[in-house]
Structure 1
Amino acid sequence: MLLGGGGSLLGAAVAGLVWLLRRRTTDPVLETVIALVTPYAAYVLAESAHTSGVTSVVVAGVLLGRSGHRLTDANIRLQLHAVYAVVVFLLESVVFSIVGLELPTLVRELPAGTGWWPLQSTAIAAVLIAVRVLWTLPLTRAVKPSRGRLSWRVAGVVTWAGTRGVMPLAAALSIPLLTEGGDRLAGRPLVLVLTVSNVVLTLVVQGLTLAAVVNRSGLALEPEHTAREEEDARDELNRAALDHVDGLAELEAVPETAVDRVRRALTARLDRTPEAPDGTTADDAYRQLRHEVIAVQNTRLHRLYEEHRISDTTLRVLQRDLDLEQAALGRN
């Protein structure tokens, strides 16, 4: 308990320090470096203070994740998301590969009397699932407050979706190899074997059957529901932006031409009235036209580069601008 509390305090301290640094950072490369160094700093500081490094990393990540959108701009977020996707994939691949290679050796090194580890692992997985059901069940009352009843279906889906992964492995691997006296720590191989087997069991059993469980529960959202939710959220954002633009127009704080340009774009996005026989709206036609125009601009940009009329630096900058604009338009 003390180890977890100390790790939480250090994680919060690291998050606060990083928050102050990132508030003053505008360089995407430096921001990426800070983001990558943060978990290692939280882990090393916590381990140096003889507390839980894993807990420290989790607390720092949760705190920074809740406020990260206020610390960065669009360019930094685009780069961070791209870097995170690659780093997470590489780290998870390395961790599972190393553990998979070590697992046969760990099983062979298990001490006498631990031959029942498959049954122990299954029992632990069952206990974890039961505890998760009991923990999430009281929270399901908020899902449908009008009924005021506990929902076993919601608790079951949330529990079945809670597969174990890298975090339990990281916690198990953080157990020291030797005691303070220099002897090998007894029980560490068994802990690692049980952890790995639980991870594999949950990933295989729960992971491969999760879709069926969600479908049988009746809680799954149909694709049209998700699309409608996204469409409603986009409309809400556009209305908020349109209200802000109208307020600026009344104050005459912005040139009228700029206000009209933004207002027309927002109004077109909110207009769902089909303007063509095939049901195409003005916003659909606008986005399709913008995709075509960007394709023409891309062709001309590379032609300028091939004719040695622009430098490589100019090519990269303009290509990024076109890519960002096309990404903002969404799918054609």
Structure 2
Amino acid sequence: MVALIVLLNMLAKKLKIAYPILLVVAGLLICFIPGLPMVKIDPDLIFFIFLPPLLFEAAWSASFKEMKKWWRMITSFAFLVVFFTAFSVALVANYYIPGFTIALGFLLGGIVSPPDAVSTGAITKFVKIPRSTSAILEGESLLNDASSLIIFRFALVAVGTGQFIWAEAATSFLWMVFGGAGMGLFLGWLFVQIHKRLPTDAPSDIVFTLISPYFMYWAAEQAHASGVLAVVSGGLLMSLKRLEFLNSTSRIRGYSVWESFVFILNGIVFLIIGLELPEIVAGIRAQGIPLGTAIGYGMLVTAVLIGARIISSYAAMIATAIFRPGLRPQFTSARRRWGMPVLLGWTGMRGVVSLAAALAIPVKLDNGMAFPHRDLILFITFVAILLTLLVQGLTLPYLIRRTALFDGVFDEEDEEATRRKMKQGLKQHVYRFLKDKYEADLIGMTGMDKFMKQWEERTKSMEEDAWMNEKTKAIFIELIESQRRYLTELNKNPKIDEEIIRQQLYQLDLEEERLKIV
């Protein structure tokens, strides 16, 4: 499975399409291969194995600065839109699918309502979109996973017990949200202190970051709070503190480990559903539901998902125009004004979180009876993911380029211009730092003369001469740390893209690692 995932990623790069699209197609095609073993994973372990690291990595990569700036839009999409989507799916499923109760409808709605950040990010990297739009999509994906899985949990209880008590549900909801977020922040702080106070090295630091999301999720779930929100809040806190408790070696190596780990996890989930599809289809037919009818249900639910998101995008645009006119994009034509929500609504591809949630449905209820319509819910979820990735995923880059709706809509500084200004500011900062602190050492010191020329000429080569002694190396490392502080302060400017800052910080980490082996 891992080898197949890697090969599919290579093919996706060759074809210049997002790899989640090929993964979901492979999941479909793999079920037609005869003689493959039936893979079964305990539904109780699905969430625990896959969700914590996927959510933690997404929180680690997200820009908290941009999330704070667009928090109204993000929270409306992450909570109100998810509830609206789940409610719409519940009503349609209850009306059109025989035997589907409102509780089962909400269960299905909670599963398929959250758009997938990995799929959206992989698809939008082929086109240029405003950083505000990408920040909204990233922040939404973090929080909507939590809100949709809370709906999933409550619906699961309602299906199992046959009742839903609103007063208890409201109390439980508040505890799940605030208790989960609070436990995540506390445990995130605790792990930061562990990194700081123990004599860790790069391998142990990476292992601790791998343990962190699992422990946050498990601890919150044991307290009946939201493990998802615990991982998200704890991950955001640790991301903000990364320069404080991880050294350059741990950050560089950890980035590679996490990138590969999350990539493999995403692929495995898609292939697992492909290996289970024959049994799922057999279960649907055993219930007397023709395959064509089940596909029709999946298409209907997909249409509801797309329609609900587009409607929500228009509602968000209107609400922003009324309550926050300063943040409203400056549209130059009515075509852009009314076309933008459609394009934002078209970004709602479903993916691995929905798949993991569907696989986590128990096979049997507590009373020993088979879970009602489990195979149909799994099949509808797969169809929704397949259709959104193929239809929306393949057409989204074309629509963005063709409509040019994003061109000039947001008042954002050009990325290259921002990068040039940042590097010029760094250069000036270096000269001020050296002159203020080491002015006496610069006079008549050959090594320091070469040191100054390196910055003056902006060369990246470093000669391995005798001038690179312990004194100059210590100054180099101190200078790099000073640049990190400068970039951290620069990141407080709301007009600076945090991703550019992070790229430069990564370059400084590489520079420090190179110094360690000179």
TM-score, length of structure 2 as denominator length: 0.46
Is the 1:245–1:259 Cα contact (8 Å) retained in structure 2? no
Shift of 1:197: 1.7
Is 1:131–2:304 an aligned residue pair? no
CA distance in 2, matches of 1:87, 1:54: 19
Which residue identity is paired with 2:303?
A
* SS in structure 2 of the partner of residue 255 of structure 1: helix
- Answering whether residue 216 of structure 2 is matched by residue 42 of structure 1, we say yes
1:104 aligns with 2:281: no
Q: Matched residues in 2 for 1:175 and 1:36: separation?
A: 26
Matched, 1:18 2:204: no
- The one of 200, 203, 206 equivalent to 2:386 is 200
Amino acid at match of 1:84: W
> What is residue 158 of structure 1 aligned with on the other side?
344
Return the letter of the residue paired with 2:210: L
What 5-or-longer segments of structure 1 have no aligned partner?
A: 270-285, 295-322
Normalising by structure 1, what TM-score?
0.68
Distance of aligned partners of 1:263 and 1:183 in 2 relative to their CA distance in 1, 3 Å threshold: farther
- Within 5 Å, give how 1:208-223 maps onto structure 2: 208-219=394-405
Find the aligned partners of 2:240 and 2:346 in 1 and give their Cα distance.
25
Task: Describe the shift of the 1:11–1:123 C-alpha distance in structure 2 as closer, same or farther (beyond 3 A).
Answer: farther
| Structure 2 partner of 1:178 | 364
Q: Structure 1: how far apart are the matches of 2:359 and 2:230?
A: 15
**Residue identity (%):** 29
| Counterpart residue identity of residue 309, structure 2 | R
Displacement of 1:228 in angstroms is 6.0
Q: CA–CA distance in 2 between the matches of 1:228 and 1:266? A: 25
User: Please, what is the CA RMSD of the aligned residues?
Assistant: 3.9
Q: C-alpha separation between the residues in 1 aligned to 2:186 and 2:302? A: 34
Q: Paired residue for 1:189, among 375, 379, 385?
A: 375
Query: Which gives a bigger RCO, structure 1 or 2 (Cα 8 Å, sep 6+)?
Result: 2
> Does residue 89 of structure 1 match 2:89?
no
Deviation of the 1:205 alpha carbon = 1.4
Q: Mark the CA change 1:50 to 1:192 in structure 2 (over 3 Å): closer, same or farther.
A: farther
Does structure 2 conserve the Cα–Cα contact (< 8 Å) formed by 1:242 and 1:266?
no
1:213-238 deviation digits (Å, cap 9, x = unpaired): 1112214679xxx9962353243144
2:374 partner letter: R
Quick one: which amino acid aligns to residue 144 of structure 1? P
**Paired residue secondary structure (1:193):** helix
Name the aligned partner's letter for residue 92 of structure 1.
N
The offset of 1:162, in angstroms, is 3.2
- Tell me by how many angstroms 1:51 deviates: 4.5
Q: CA deviation at 1:146?
A: 8.2
The structure-2 alpha-carbon separation of the partners of 1:243 and 1:208, relative to structure 1 and needing over 3 Å to count, comes to: same
Measure, in 2, the Cα distance between the counterparts of 1:209 and 1:261: 54
Structure 1 residues 31 and 198: CA distance shift in structure 2, 3 A: same
Counterparts of 2:513 and 2:395, CA distance in 1 = 34
Larger radius of gyration: 1
Residue 202 of structure 2 is matched in structure 1 by 28
Deviation at 1:80, TM superposition (A): 1.0
**Letter matched to residue 158 of structure 1:** L
Q: Which runs of 5+ in 2 are unaligned?
A: 1-149, 151-171, 322-326, 465-508
Tell me the CA shift for residue 173 of structure 1.
2.5
